Amino acid sequence: MRRRAAVYGCSAAIFLADRLTKVWVDASISAFDVWEVIPGFFNIIHSENRGMAFSLLAEASLWLRTVVLIGLSCLMMGAVALMLWKTAGTPAKLTEAALVLVLGGAAGNVYDRVMRGSVTDFLDFQIAGYHWATFNVADAAITCGAILMLLEALSESWRKKAAV
């Protein structure tokens, strides 16, 4: 039981880190103001995203955004929380870490959507002339969690092939 409390506590810490950074951005940076941190590579910009990744559904009706972005996100969070409950304390540490990241990040973005109708994005990177979509701590946690899940699935596949 202690292990489960620890993993859910880690998800809560990711949620808190996301909330604190978004509150700071909201209080410190005007909308669409750009703070150049590393010229040509990294900026902090205050933007609001009513849609999902890459602003998909940003122009959809409020009803559709509510059902899809909040409703489905809540269902997925429930599924992730259940999977985390089942894996907490098992040998599947990579899966556990992935689920912790996804749950904490999803909670951060769902909170914004429920409370404000949009998500605050502020991390803005450019690499070799390519400008990546602005994102936040929650998005980074979800992405890292998804990558860890993919690595776990691939490593399992590789282990099975090596055993044959």
Catalytic amino acids?
A: 121, 139
Given a contact cutoff of 8 angstroms between Cβ atoms, the answer to whether 33 and 46 are in contact is: yes
**Rounded CA gap, 58 and 49, in Å?**
7
59-to-55, 56, 118 alpha-carbon distances in Å: 8, 8, 12
Which of 21, 45, 25, 48 minimizes the C-alpha distance to 33? 45
> The tokens of 83 are what?
């999977």
In angstroms, the CA 134 to CA 121 distance is 6
Find, among 97, 110, 143, 84, the residue nearest to 15 by Cα. Answer: 110
